[in-house]
Amino acid sequence: MYRRVLLKLSGEVLSGEGARGFDSERTAFLVEELRPVVEKGIQLAIVIGAGNITRGRELSEMRSSRADELGILGTIMNSLYLKESLCMNGFEAIAISSVAGIPSLLEHRYDTIEDALNTGKIVVFGGGTYLPFFTTDTAAAVRAVEIGADVLIKGTKVDGVYDKDPKTNEEARRIERTTFSEAIKSRFEIMDIEAFSICQRYGLPVRVIDFFSKGNLFDAIIGGKTGTVVLPD
């Protein structure tokens, strides 16, 4: 069983697939998926994307740096929303970012983060890496290494990694275990190369799960066979 987990989620967990803004039912599902994890005593940090607010392809006419800055701000909005939703439902949580001077955001300090995790608070990271040109996958890898996580769990819409596209190929096979080198060689669409490189360098395993199926997160954390595990070589 993992003791300290970094969970990477897309912004769509707050809105529903393809939707915008915030949906109370989707948020309630997310909150309840986290409850057994926290009750088990697992230390949990979250990096969340901004797909429910802004998407890069819609900002293609802008300079990349400016479009990325809008995405960074979107992740901050989501981190504040998620943190407040958790607190309203009986959790202790903090939102961390060094981008915006907002009173309810705590500054990114290692001692603040460590104290929060050790006392059972959920840490929600906003702002990505705080720099343009880097994805929230890369941010998740960086934050996972920073906090000394046992695993980076990426919550997606599919139940792991497949050797072929399961949407178009009935013979597609889910892969239970693979390595970073094999994932890169086979071009499995899991995370970007920067995120993979960080995880490989620091020996951080990645687990890909279908977050939208009830109980999958808890099962993955306690050692079940949910999803796909990507291991350092």
Q: Which residues are annotated as part of the binding site for ATP?
A: 8-11, 51, 55, 156, 162, 165
Q: How far is CA 159 from the centre of its chain?
A: 15
Torsional sign, CA 127, 147, 124, 155 = positive
CA distances from 132 to 49, 56, 70, 136 (A): 14, 12, 9, 10
| CA end-to-end distance (rounded Å), the chain | 21
Given phi > 0 = left and psi -120 to 50 = alpha, else beta, which region is 187?
left
Determine the 3-state secondary structure of 91 from DSSP: coil
Q: Which two tokens stand for residue 68?
A: 């990325």
Residue ranges of the annotated binding site are 8-11, 51, 55, 68, 129-136, 156, 162, 165
Please report, as a single letter, which amino acid is at residue 54.
Answer: T
- Annotation: binding site for UMP: 68, 129-136
DSSP code of residue 189:
S
Starting at the earlier edge strand, list the strands of the sheet with 151-156.
Answer: 105-106, 93-96, 122-125, 43-48, 4-9, 151-156, 206-210, 228-231, 177-179
